[in-house]
Amino acid sequence: MSPCLVEDMDMTSLRKRLGSIADTFEILPLALEAVFLDSGPIEEGATSKPYLPSVILKDDLGERLKHVCENSYKSFFKASPLPYLISSKLMRNSIIETGQIFSFSFVLMGEACRIMETAIKAFDRLGVQGLGRGASFRRRFRLLSAQVKFKNEDFIVWDSAKPAQFITPPRMTLSAFEPSDDLAVDENTDLKLRVDYVSPTCFAFDGLGKKVSPSRVTAYRLAQKASRRLQQIYAVWCNREWDNEKERIKFDYEAADQPCIYSRQTTLQYQSYRKSGTQGNIQPLRGRVCNVTYQGKVLPLYHLLSLCQPIGIGENTAWGFGQFKVSLST
């Protein structure tokens, strides 16, 4: 039996089906750079613990976007699934220094790619307001540039030296993230697949009643989560005529064929909170930075996860959780 099945789908058929989605799944991964103009803590009780600034960026961006273009705010920031995510590297702590360079990513998907100019303007206005929780903790920053990496070249779409000028980047799809054929092996070959969760990550599964660490997620459950996220976003934001029920890719490992967890290592347990605009309350955020290596018939999972790298996986991806990288070895 093939390690992944949709009506006895083999690896060639799977790659063709994933490829048809990737070719029409438009994506715009913006890389933005800013510099802080103030110094001091960005939240009460600031400590030396690592900090994920994308959480505050996500909480504050919606309000700025609403002032720039309310239609864009209603169309994309109140939608489900969310067609965007903000991600940033973990900072050493939540205490800012004047002149500190701050880099983060803003990834737009499908129809949301058309609000690039509006989003950059919103980030620029957010810099005037400042980054932080509460008026006394806001630290101003100046947005310097926004660019897209296209075919290994940096394509600048906006620069603070010419703030009124926006350059439309080349169209990009998820096909740019498809793995190459350099590792020519049979789909039934035992391989090792390493998943590095580079930002805090957690999963939620129906019936389990709690959040699950990525280090405890089986290959089967990981494939289900990745496949569902990829296809939900595609059906809503990229191809509304695509039938999610009839054409969906369903992963189903036999017990004997499911790759096992070969090794796992946690480097950070992260805890913070986010504001809920719809419920008007504070919601906890928890996740782990870790790596997990699976061993077995992992080639189908590798191809699926490769396409999901820019869109994230798991809970709270819009706040910068669930960022990961994959690598394959014999």
CA–CA dist 38, 50 (Å, integer) = 20
Domain count, the chain: 2
Same domain, 314 and 288: yes
Give the tens place of pLDDT for each residue, 17-30.
888 899 999 999 99
Does residue 166 sit within a domain?
Answer: no
pLDDT band at 238 (very low <50, low <70, confident <90, very high): very high
CATH number where 193 lies: 3.30.70.1900
CA–CA dist 298, 192 (Å, integer) = 7
**Domain-ending residue, one of 159, 191, 209:** 159
Same domain, 297 and 180: yes
Does residue 6 sit within a domain?
Answer: no
Same domain, 150 and 246: no
Same domain, 320 and 178: yes
- pLDDT attached to residue 71: 85
Does residue 169 sit within a domain?
Answer: no
Give the tens place of pLDDT for each residue, 28-42.
999 999 999 999 998
CATH number where 107 lies: 3.30.70
pLDDT band at 1 (very low <50, low <70, confident <90, very high): very low
Question: Cβ distance 322 to 190 under 8 Å?
Answer: no
The residue assigned the tokens 């599964």 is 205
CA–CA dist 274, 282 (Å, integer) = 6
Does residue 307 sit within a domain?
Answer: yes
Does residue 40 sit within a domain?
Answer: yes
CA–CA dist 223, 259 (Å, integer) = 11
Mean pLDDT confidence for 251-278: 80
**Domain-ending residue, one of 127, 159, 191:** 159
Same domain, 183 and 285: yes
pLDDT band at 280 (very low <50, low <70, confident <90, very high): low
Parent domain of 41: 27-159
Token code pair at residue 263: 């090794």
| Lowest model confidence (mean pLDDT) among 44-58, 81-95, 111-125, 190-204 | 44-58
**Domain-ending residue, one of 124, 159, 194:** 159
Q: Cβ contacts of residue 233 below 8 Å, gap of 6+?
A: 25, 81, 83, 109, 110, 311
Same domain, 292 and 264: yes
- Start-to-end CA span in the chain (Å): 21
Does residue 139 sit within a domain?
Answer: yes
Same domain, 19 and 44: no
| Lowest model confidence (mean pLDDT) among 22-26, 244-248, 261-265, 305-309 | 244-248
CA-based angle 109:72:317, to the nearest 5? 40
Give the tens place of pLDDT for each residue, 135-193.
889 999 999 999 998 777 889 999 999 999 999 999 999 999 888 755 667 777 889 99
Same domain, 184 and 295: yes
Same domain, 140 and 227: no
- pLDDT attached to residue 2: 42
- pLDDT attached to residue 152: 77
Does residue 3 sit within a domain?
Answer: no
pLDDT higher for 200 or 63?
200
Same domain, 238 and 256: yes
Same domain, 217 and 315: yes
Question: Cβ distance 193 to 328 under 8 Å?
Answer: yes
Does residue 123 sit within a domain?
Answer: yes
Same domain, 187 and 310: yes
Strand partners, 66: none
3-state helix/strand/coil string of the chain: CCCCCCCCCCHHHHHHHHHHHHHHCEEEEEEEEEEECCCEECCCCCCCCCECCHHHHHHHHHHHHHHHCHHHHHHHHCCCCCCEEEEECCECCCEECCCCEEEEEEEEEHHHHHHHHHHHHHHHHHHHHCECCCHHHCECEEEEEEEEEECCEEEEEEECCCCCCCCCCCCCEHHHHCCCCCCCCCCCCCEEEEEEEEEEECEECCCCCCEECHHHCCHHHHHHHHHHHHHHHHHHHHCCCCCCCCCCCCCCCCCCCCCEEEEEEEEEEEEEEEEECCCCEEEEEEEEEEEEEEEECCHHHHHHHHHHHHHCCCCCHHHCCCCEEEEEEC
